[in-house]
Amino acid sequence: MSTIFVLNGPNLNLLGTREPAIYGSTTLADVDALCVAEAAKFGLTADCRQSNHEGVLVDWIHEAGKLQKAGKLAGVVLNAGAYTHTSLAIADAVRGTGVSLIEVHITNVHAREAFRHHSFLSPIARGVIVGLGPQGYALAIAALAASAPKA
């Protein structure tokens, strides 16, 4: 069975309590459960992880690249949080590994502060989903599942 990594960056562990007027009341545990259920619909497993540390996210992307090359990973769903707008290291990891990545944001970053309008990930992502709330994760999983290696 193939896997999909669902990686969440800084402060996403605060979902449900962090600025609920912006991010809603859904918790990260709720998002993880949604991702596991969505992946299962396609016969895949979702490996959900969150870190506030850039290097940890880079290491996970390296791991994902190796697994995808071995035919064991369909790709990565990544909500890099603020690192989307600042991290060349994460973008370089995606570029360097060649991993298939869907960038996801719960809010519409283009309707928010100007610094959130730029993404280092968008130019190298297979797709970008913004502003659809937690449902964006499910859509990203469906997109990766459509091109996943068949067992």
Catalytic site residues? 23, 105
Q: Measured between alpha carbons, how far is 28 from 32 in angstroms, rounded to an integer?
A: 6
| Residues 128/116, Cβ–Cβ less than 8 Å | no
Q: Measured between alpha carbons, how far is 106 from 34 in angstroms, rounded to an integer?
A: 14
DSSP 10: T
DSSP 47-114: EEEE-S-HHHHHHHHHHHHHHHHTT-EEEEEEE-GGGGGT-HHHHHHHHHHT--EEEEESS-GGGS-G
Q: Consult the annotation and say whether 79 binds a ligand.
A: yes
Q: Consult the annotation and say whether 108 binds a ligand.
A: no
Question: Can you say whether the dihedral through the CA atoms of 15, 18, 22, 26 is positive or negative?
Answer: positive
Q: Measured between alpha carbons, how far is 142 from 42 in angstroms, rounded to an integer?
A: 8
Q: Consult the annotation and say whether 92 binds a ligand.
A: yes
Question: Can you say which residues are annotated as belonging to the binding site?
Answer: 79, 85, 92, 106-107, 116
Question: Can you say which residues are annotated as belonging to the binding site for substrate?
Answer: 79, 85, 92, 106-107, 116
